[in-house]
């Protein structure tokens, strides 16, 4: 096992860094206009949680409409066709752009990167603050879009023109433009945040921390930020063109004026498919941190995981057109994108198998974070395997835009956004707040959530295979889809959703109980190796009483000859 001895130059720079002044702050400067990465992480976290509550209420309303068409929905009333379109559109938008990205990338990235690499803050703290302020502005604009005449945008979260480009089609002139502006602002916020994540991880590591000593979750967030920055440009340009089509009368995507609506699909999915990996990679990194700690095993194939992630990122730019197999693209190109889609499943499967190899032979503790991490592997595996059907151009002609796609997408995205979030939140909660969560309430929350999720989405595979298309407000207009058997499956799926939502009550009860009476957490309650566990719980302004030095890789667990089964990165031989 190789160890790293920091040079004198590194020590000198490190001492200067640790002597930076951290004076007492007022309430406003600390919590409202903070430059501290940990407070900004909390701002992103709780804003994301607020938005997911809105997104969850939306899915409750439109699933109740599908299960009991035309009936009064508690908390809403009668769901109109326009309501349904707007709810479906904004549910998808919120869950991806205003929940998954702020909590998995911005919140965990802000909180973890400086702590895990052993520095006191981000390189550009004012840009960091600005990124949240722009993000908050995007939230305000999105919520405002629900309140203007015509209501919120109802042209689906993919915003395909001409439905999104012409108000006479979407019936939401102002709502569609405000939705587009909100998405653009959110992209600006994450471009600013990505600059900080990449620069900080590359330039502010603790003395002795080589690239191969950086924890995997940090690598995952950095690579996700690079993917986002590399892919979002064409969509920002497309968003400006679409806004001009909506409000100025240009015809970039209007075939009546010589435009091409399929061009938007290319611009959107060139960003949209790398975006899947932008949110997947941080979740995969979170799972890696958890399974090593709770199996007391070294991460199997650290360098292989890292190279696999890089390969996945590169391949993600060559699969976008599998979303367009029925959009009229050349069938010869469809064959190429079928091959690239199958190819990208290889590195993802490799990562899953490396994680399973890490678990093999370990001393596994089924704590609540570990339960979420294992559930991620199981559920995501099912989502990935069903994607192979959609990646085959012949099969996708039938499955495209059916509920099979909806089920597949949620079996990939729910593990990423929801299970990944709960895994990370329950694992780092003691570090964030200095208290332990209640284990019994955590287990109840976990099992009801997982059972409810599967009860909701397994029936959707059956409905999609039966030919049920998505974005239909009332299936009673389609006799082949309005049979009692299919309608019963819609009811079962809605029951599963309600079960999943009810489970979150236990999560919030757990938060209240733990904040008030939770057992106090030590600096390193999990006996983990990475540098964030060197700081007090919760970390003070400046993070460390004495800035740490890194001596080894982050996953040295159960090393033969040692009394302890862990070996912290900052502990010399």
The pLDDT tens digits of the residues spanning 108-161 come to 999 999 999 999 999 999 999 999 999 999 999 999 999 999 899 999 999 999
Does 15 have pLDDT greater than 50? no
- In this predicted structure, what is the pLDDT of residue 8? 35
d(CA 167, CA 175): 9
Does residue 4 belong to any structural domain of this protein? no
Helix, strand and coil content of the chain, in percent to the nearest 5, comes to 70, 0, 30
C-alpha separations of 99 from 314, 328, 417, 421 in Å: 25, 33, 7, 10
Residue 165 has pLDDT above 50, yes or no: yes
- Quote the mean pLDDT of the chain: 92
| Measured distance CA(150)–CA(179) in Å, rounded | 13
To the nearest 10°, report the CA torsion of 488, 494, 499, 501: 180
Residue 563 lies in a domain: no
Instruction: Please tell me the distance from the alpha carbon of residue 384 to that of residue 373, in angstroms, as a whole number.
Output: 16
Report the pLDDT averaged over residues 171-194. 94
The tokens for 444 are: 């109840």
Instruction: State mean pLDDT over 455-471.
Output: 95
Checking if the pLDDT of 328 tops 90, the result is no
Task: Give residue 397's domain range.
Answer: 40-158+172-533
pLDDT of residue 2 exceeding 60:
no
pLDDT at 170: 79
Domain count across the chain: 1
Tens of pLDDT, residues 47-62 = 999 999 999 999 999 9
Write the DSSP assignment of 449-488 as a string of letters.
Answer: HHHHHHHHHHHHHHHHHTTPBSS-S-GGG-GGG--HHHHH
pLDDT number for residue 172: 85
Query: Please, where are the H alpha helices in 208-330?
Result: 216-247, 261-295, 302-315
What pLDDT, on the 0 to 100 scale, is given for residue 333? 87
Q: By C-alpha distance, which of 185, 162, 282 is closest to 232?
A: 185
> Are 155 and 119 contacting, i.e. CB atoms less than 8 angstroms apart?
no
**Has residue 14 got a pLDDT over 80?**
no
296: DSSP letter: T
pLDDT-above-90 percentage for the chain:
85
pLDDT band at 334; cut points 50, 70, 90: confident
* Domain-embedded: residue 8: no
Quote the Cα angle for 510-115-570, to 5°.
115
DSSP output for 157-207: TTT-TTTTT-HHHHS-HHHHHHHHHHHHHHHHHHHHHHHHHHHHHHH-PPT
- Map residue 242 onto helix, strand or coil: helix
**Rounded Cα gap, residues 570 and 384, in angstroms:** 38
Confidence band, pLDDT 50/70/90 cuts, at residue 329: confident
Residue 7 clears pLDDT 80, i.e. is over it: no
Residue 25: what pLDDT? 66
More reliable by pLDDT, 297 or 25: 297
Structural domain includes residue 19? no
Q: Say yes or no to pLDDT of 477 above 50.
A: yes
In sequence order, what are the residues at sequence separation of 6 or more whose Cβ sits closer than 8 angstroms to the Cβ of residue 179? 89, 90, 93, 142, 145, 152, 153, 159
Q: Is residue 152 part of a domain?
A: yes
Angle between helix 108-117 and 37-67 (nearest 10): 150
Q: Residue 176 contacts by C-beta under 8 Å, 6 or more apart in sequence?
A: 153, 155, 159, 164, 167, 170, 246
Q: Cα(213)–Cα(157) distance, rounded to whole angstroms?
A: 39
What integer pLDDT is reported at residue 228 of this predicted model?
97
Is residue 491 scored above 90 in pLDDT?
A: yes
* pLDDT tens per residue, range 217-227: 999 999 999 99
pLDDT tens sequence across 278-295: 999 999 999 999 999 999
CA distance 356 to 456: 27
Q: Is residue 348 part of a domain?
A: yes
CB-CB contact of 418 with 283 (8 Å): no
Which residues is 73 bridged to in the sheet?
A: 77
3 state SS of 95: helix
How confident is the model at residue 23, as a pLDDT? 56
Of 447, 493, 448, the residue nearest 470 (C-alpha) = 493
- Has residue 568 got a pLDDT over 90? yes
553 in any annotated domain: no
Look at residues 110, 129, 177 and name the one whose alpha carbon lies nearest to residue 150: 177
C-alpha 61/C-alpha 58 separation (Å) is: 5
CA 233-236-237 angle, 5° bins: 90
Q: What is the domain-level CATH number for residue 80? A: 1.20.210.10
Residue 539 lies in a domain: no
d(CA 106, CA 193): 7
Distance separating alpha carbons of residues 325 and 329, to the nearest angstrom: 7
Q: What is the mean pLDDT of residues 249-253?
A: 92
Is pLDDT at 432 greater than 50 in this prediction? yes
pLDDT surpasses 80 at 306:
yes
| Residues 6 or more apart whose Cβ sits within 8 Å of residue 432 | 38, 42, 111, 538
C-alpha span between 530 and 112 (Å, rounded): 10
Asked if residue 497 lies in contact with residue 456, where contact means CB atoms within 8 angstroms, the answer is yes
Whether 529 and 1 have beta carbons less than 8 Å apart is answered as no
pLDDT digits (tens, 9 = 90+) for 69-109: 999 999 999 999 999 999 999 999 999 999 999 999 999 99
pLDDT attached to residue 57? 98
pLDDT tens for residues 371-385? 999 999 999 999 999
């Amino acid at each position: 096992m190789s160890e790293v001895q920091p040079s004198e130059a590194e020590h000198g720079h490190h001492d200067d860094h640790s002597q930076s002044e951290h004076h007492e702050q007022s309430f406003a400067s600390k919590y409202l206009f903070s430059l501290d990465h940990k407070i900004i992480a909390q701002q992103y976290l709780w804003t994301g949680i607020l938005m997911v509550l809105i997104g969850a209420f939306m899915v409750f309303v439109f699933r109740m409409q599908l299960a009991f068409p035309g009936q009064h929905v508690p908390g809403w009333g009668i769901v109109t066709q326009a309501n349904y379109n707007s709810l479906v559109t904004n549910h998808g938008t919120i869950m991806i752009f205003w929940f998954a990205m702020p909590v998995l990338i911005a919140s965990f990235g802000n909180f973890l990167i400086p702590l895990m690499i052993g520095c006191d803050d981000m390189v550009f703290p004012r840009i960091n603050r600005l990124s949240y302020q722009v993000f908050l502005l995007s939230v305000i604009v999105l919520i405002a879009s629900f309140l203007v005449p015509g209501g919120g945008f109802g042209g689906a979260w993919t915003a395909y023109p001409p439905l999104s480009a012409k108000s006479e089609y979407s019936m939401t002139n102002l709502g569609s433009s405000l939705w587009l502006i909100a998405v653009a602002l959110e992209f600006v916020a994450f471009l600013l945040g990505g600059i900080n994540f990449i620069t900080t991880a590359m330039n502010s590591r603790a003395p002795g921390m080589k690239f191969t000593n950086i924890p995997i979750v940090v690598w995952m967030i950095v690579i996700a930020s690079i993917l986002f920055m590399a892919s979002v440009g064409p969509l920002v340009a497309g968003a400006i063109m679409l806004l001009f089509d909506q409000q100025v009368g240009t015809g970039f995507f209007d075939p009546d004026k010589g435009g091409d609506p399929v061009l938007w699909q290319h611009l959107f999915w060139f960003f949209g498919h790398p975006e899947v990996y932008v949110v997947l990679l941080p979740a995969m990194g979170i799972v890696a941190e958890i399974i090593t700690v709770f199996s007391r095993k070294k991460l199997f194939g650290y360098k292989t995981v890292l190279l696999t992630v890089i390969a996945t990122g590169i391949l993600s730019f060559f699969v976008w057109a599998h979303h367009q197999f029925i959009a009229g693209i050349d069938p010869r190109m469809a064959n190429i994108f079928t091959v690239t889609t199958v190819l990208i499943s290889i590195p993802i499967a490799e990562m899953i198998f490396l994680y399973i190899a890490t678990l093999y032979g370990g001393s596994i503790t089924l704590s609540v974070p570990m339960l979420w991490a294992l559930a991620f592997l199981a559920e995501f595996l099912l989502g990935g395997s069903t994607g192979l059907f959609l990646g085959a151009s012949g099969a996708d002609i039938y499955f495209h835009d059916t509920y099979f796609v909806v089920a597949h997408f949620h079996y990939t995205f729910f593990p990423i956004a929801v299970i990944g979030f709960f895994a990370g939140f329950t694992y780092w909660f003691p570090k964030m707040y200095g208290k332990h969560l209640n284990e019994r309430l955590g287990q109840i929350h976990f099992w009801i959530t997982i059972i409810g999720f599967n009860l909701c989405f397994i029936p959707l595979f059956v409905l999609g295979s039966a030919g049920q298309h998505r974005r239909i407000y009332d299936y009673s207009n389609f006799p082949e889809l309005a049979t009692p058997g299919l309608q019963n499956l819609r009811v079962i799926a809605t029951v599963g959703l309600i079960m999943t939502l009810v489970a979150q009550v236990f999560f919030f009860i757990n938060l209240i109980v733990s904040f008030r009476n939770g057992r106090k957490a030590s600096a390193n309650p999990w006996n983990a190796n990475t540098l964030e566990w060197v700081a007090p719980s919760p970390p003070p302004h400046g993070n460390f009483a004495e800035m740490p030095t890194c001596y080894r890789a982050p996953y040295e667990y159960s090393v033969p000859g040692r009394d302890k089964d862990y070996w912290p990165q900052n502990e010399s031989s």
